[in-house]
Structure 1
């Protein structure tokens, strides 16, 4: 068997960037480089298929720039920004859809380049790869402020929102959801249990018109929801099945939906044994239903555009005097974990600009026992081997991010794929490549820039793998088994680093074929004995539960919420899957700014034996039990709203 070798990254078919050129990867989004290396195969495209017409991205502008300045320096022929981003003066973040000409202009136009600090790839799948309706132009003005919600308003960004559920009605039987925006655009969507083979647009007469300030998706007003409910009321009872069929919300045929469960915890009336009569149970609601493609992509790596757009939609439907609390019960495992991702920085700035009138609750994460995090300090000449166990029959891509602090330019990385007797050649900072095995298509990619668009401190090394199984004979598949990733400190100072395996599990109701990969180490305690579910300072293993944290939740101004048990002894107080407060491994060295501890705690399990909490099912009167800090966050959102 010949020694494996790295091949150079190709020139991007969409961006035109020669990713193998010296310095080309520096400051860029490594996921964009990988997407172009494998022809967007991770987004259900691949070799032989045309690239997207438009790419969705999220942009952070330079410190002296704002959205109107970017609009003035560009053309809607190759950069389109939703009009909603004109509503907040001083905002330095926006989403956009771009054509290849955008990247040409970045290379040739110094002024445009000076406005953009960094950008990240969004989710390049339907319907997010088409032009926006009515995007920003230099003459565009903020939307007129009329009919906006005042007082206390609860916003929710999630999937599967049963808008006619009695938990979201007022005392007169009218909906409290005053604005509902769904981000999908097709009848045959990626909702649970469905495998679309053709694309037919939603009917705006049923699903609602496209909101012009967003440029995509469909919107229903509270009046429209009430009218539809009245049309499908039989003998004083709403026929919810028929209503959702009419509104083309077929995903709500599922008896349990994550968004409905979460929303009822945030603002529902409780249950007969524990009724809740508080401000949250009476508040106006603004709901954003994520495109199911976002929910399908449980890595969450491309949620940035959808979540930021959702936040802007909620704020645009509220009056300047409104006090808004938004719950986002979703997240990722990888990322910088220091609040410097673009989405986290955008949320932090929005909260600051709103001066106390906006609060955002986010879950701390459910992966405490998942073995997806390594923390280690490499001394000079020290070598750290990581064993990354990638599972068979995994029909989704897998990602490993290694985060290095500033000054770590002497760390080298060596990768040995399963089944190979020799490693691939060492890579150092500024180098990248793809490994094709015995074929022509990439099986994995290693991207090691000097700086990364994914965070503002240090850099991120991305190791990306193709699925280990596919039903398509032509698809490239990576070998499963233990990938050995060896880190070598060739410098003269200690280097503290973190490695995070990205989330790759299956969302409720889905059948994606995802299988979560994990780290292996002989010293990691998997015995299940008392005391084995937390880290101890003298544990020799680099795999750490502490620091396994939702990377959407490490911002400075958002409120992260961990999970606890309602009825438990002091030793069983914490949900086993949740980060803890205080951190039991607090003495361990960390990269600057890393967040490992939730800001607060709420119940996510009833007791040691009965995990999860009960809340609304999809149909009125039904209940379901779901597990996770996704249930903790909305309870904190409720408390925040009541305290306003």
Structure 2
């Protein structure tokens, strides 16, 4: 192996090793080009065949999406029409071609409009082109049949739209609009059936929503008609309904989106016969994430998909509708101060709608996962982090190290397991990668002086998978990677290190294995007081600060998890062990400005100490399932908000 500079991007044309090239940019884009988009499952490693990349764009203050569209050409930048339905937005998703990056490099007028952009979806899993998009001076019209009154918006995976829990008193579905973001079923992810992509039939899956330009949409009339066609003696064959709509995964007994939606809006049924509140009568507008989002728990697809989903929900609601959107999803890495592009876009949308939109999100489930380290380094001081990367991990692993604005003089040294001769030390503005004999990257360290990912800067350490069924796939060594931070400056520097989420989502098999940090001082004994950070413990690994990185915005509502029944007098007995707590029980430590570590509110997601999770709606009518996690806390807060509107 050899240490090499990052290559010139085949798609963007950016020479990532040139001085200043990585500054202010998305380091994940630089890495994706370095490894030929292998982590995004581009078929046959042929990025030259890509025509469009999905991104999220943040515009400068005083610039809106209309100005961006009017100043660009659709042959190299395409924005979904929905982003013009809310006047004055500074954030949008887009599909961009190679020519966009040429203009970005050469045209100061374009850079005067765009403040930052970030790579979005796994590029093989979703359609990259849009069938319809904004053109200069176009005037898109709002969709017909917009929903009035209190509305529950849901962005999730696997919503059982034929379930009787989502019917009104007349037997009609309360799902007024349903958008599935995929154009096909299956793909190249491990565990997909035969790794084949099955195109969806728009006559069954529904037409493409013209204001978003991809996916398939169903309305209430269509759902009710198909439910009636497959009804016999008053009973609906729900499996047949899902086969007709090509929603085969909804035949599984458990689906995350169904459970979440049930907690937010299902009537009581056998679990609570007396429950008949306003939330159980509210209309539903639902977005089913492409399964690539569900499979890729690192959240690499979240920004475009969730932002598009929010615009879909808003566009399907009347101007006077009160909307509560629940997004029970999240990641672990990120700035954690509300400055990520998606969080800034959500905050802007809440602000633009003048309080008619509220967004609930889970606080996160990683409190005991050892994925966060935090410390303040005095001049001359160093801190070693030991990152345990597991064997047989078929997905890439990511570690982000975040520094506040103005931090200088911090060097990063990375040593692979048992390979001290391959240790690399970089300072701000530097990057590179270890490559194998074929020139393919095995791991990379990208350390810009500023980043598109959020406030301050983010150094990204990324590793290829440690196992693969492809004999030609480059593999990173498993074991303990040592990352040493050394303050060579004259002032103290506060850092946060976050290991990105890399677990396996419910009901799928991706070959992912979660990496984590190790330290002999970190308490793993399981004693009662060992579930929170203790004063005097010198470890840099912190439970405090392990937080869903989608939930740290200024105007969104994060929800932590408690137990329905306390198990003791101690305050700790109140909380689900995997949830961030309120107030934070950890000792005071230096924090980067604006970092969020406590949720706005709390709701039960465990029954008690021994019985984790809460009961909710299963995929088939009348069935119930138990799922644990703050994903169950967030829809309970959404329900409380809906009841306040009714």
* Coarse TM-score class (shorter-chain normalised): over 0.9
Matched, 1:99 2:100: no
Alignment match, 1:583? 584
Alignment match, 2:643? 642
**How far does the alpha carbon of each residue in 1:34-60 deviate from its partner, in whole angstroms, 9 at most, with x for none?**
000000110113774234221000000
1:477-626 alignment runs, 5 A limit? 477-568=475-566, 569-571=568-570, 572-585=573-586, 587-626=588-627
Q: CA, structure 1 residues 129+183, in 2 after alignment: closer, same or farther (shift >3 Å)?
A: closer
- Structure 1 segments unaligned to the other structure (5+ residues): none
Name the CA distance, whole Å, in 2 between partners of 1:190 and 1:47.
11
The answer as to whether partners of 2:187 and 2:196 remain within 8 angstroms in 1 is no
Name the CA distance, whole Å, in 2 between partners of 1:273 and 1:317.
32
Matched, 1:39 2:50: no
Name the CA distance, whole Å, in 1 between partners of 2:187 and 2:100.
29
Q: Which has the larger displacement, 180-189 or 589-598?
A: 180-189
Cα deviation for residue 273 of structure 1 reads 4.4
Question: For 2:19, which of 19, 22, 27 is the aligned residue?
Answer: 22
Name the CA distance, whole Å, in 2 between partners of 1:86 and 1:252.
33
1:69-218 alignment runs, 5 A limit? 69-144=67-142, 146-188=144-186, 194-218=192-216
SS of equivalent to 1:277: coil
1:48-447 alignment runs, 5 A limit? 48-51=45-48, 52-144=50-142, 146-188=144-186, 194-275=192-273, 276-437=275-436, 439-447=438-446
Name the CA distance, whole Å, in 2 between partners of 1:82 and 1:127.
18
TM-score w.r.t. structure 1 length? 0.97
Cα deviation for residue 172 of structure 1 reads 1.7
Cα deviation for residue 439 of structure 1 reads 5.0
The answer as to whether partners of 1:444 and 1:466 remain within 8 angstroms in 2 is yes
CA RMSD of aligned residues (A): 1.4
SS of equivalent to 1:281: helix
Name the CA distance, whole Å, in 2 between partners of 1:510 and 1:361.
25
Q: CA, structure 1 residues 80+195, in 2 after alignment: closer, same or farther (shift >3 Å)?
A: same
Name the CA distance, whole Å, in 2 between partners of 1:389 and 1:192.
23
Q: Which has the larger displacement, 296-305 or 461-470?
A: 296-305
The answer as to whether partners of 2:142 and 2:315 remain within 8 angstroms in 1 is no
TM-score w.r.t. structure 2 length? 0.97
Cα deviation for residue 422 of structure 1 reads 2.9
Name the CA distance, whole Å, in 1 between partners of 2:64 and 2:251.
43
Q: CA, structure 1 residues 14+145, in 2 after alignment: closer, same or farther (shift >3 Å)?
A: closer
The answer as to whether partners of 2:187 and 2:195 remain within 8 angstroms in 1 is no
Q: CA, structure 1 residues 95+468, in 2 after alignment: closer, same or farther (shift >3 Å)?
A: same
Cα deviation for residue 197 of structure 1 reads 3.3
Aligned length: 640
Name the CA distance, whole Å, in 2 between partners of 1:48 and 1:246.
34
**How far does the alpha carbon of each residue in 1:562-583 deviate from its partner, in whole angstroms, 9 at most, with x for none?**
0000011243110000000001
Name the CA distance, whole Å, in 2 between partners of 1:158 and 1:191.
19
**How far does the alpha carbon of each residue in 1:171-208 deviate from its partner, in whole angstroms, 9 at most, with x for none?**
12110000000000014457995335333421111000
Q: CA, structure 1 residues 466+191, in 2 after alignment: closer, same or farther (shift >3 Å)?
A: closer
SS of equivalent to 1:426: strand
Cα deviation for residue 134 of structure 1 reads 1.2
- Structure 2 segments unaligned to the other structure (5+ residues): none
Name the CA distance, whole Å, in 2 between partners of 1:314 and 1:192.
31
SS of equivalent to 1:473: coil
SS of equivalent to 2:446: strand
Name the CA distance, whole Å, in 1 between partners of 2:346 and 2:232.
44
Name the CA distance, whole Å, in 1 between partners of 2:191 and 2:467.
20
Name the CA distance, whole Å, in 1 between partners of 2:104 and 2:38.
25
Query: Segments of 4+ in structure 1 off by > 4 A?
Result: 189-193
Q: CA, structure 1 residues 585+261, in 2 after alignment: closer, same or farther (shift >3 Å)?
A: same
The answer as to whether partners of 1:5 and 1:425 remain within 8 angstroms in 2 is no
SS of equivalent to 2:25: coil
SS of equivalent to 1:180: strand
Name the CA distance, whole Å, in 2 between partners of 1:421 and 1:413.
15
Q: CA, structure 1 residues 586+277, in 2 after alignment: closer, same or farther (shift >3 Å)?
A: farther
Q: CA, structure 1 residues 360+119, in 2 after alignment: closer, same or farther (shift >3 Å)?
A: same
Cα deviation for residue 125 of structure 1 reads 2.5
Name the CA distance, whole Å, in 1 between partners of 2:76 and 2:272.
54
The answer as to whether partners of 1:190 and 1:293 remain within 8 angstroms in 2 is no
The answer as to whether partners of 1:192 and 1:509 remain within 8 angstroms in 2 is no
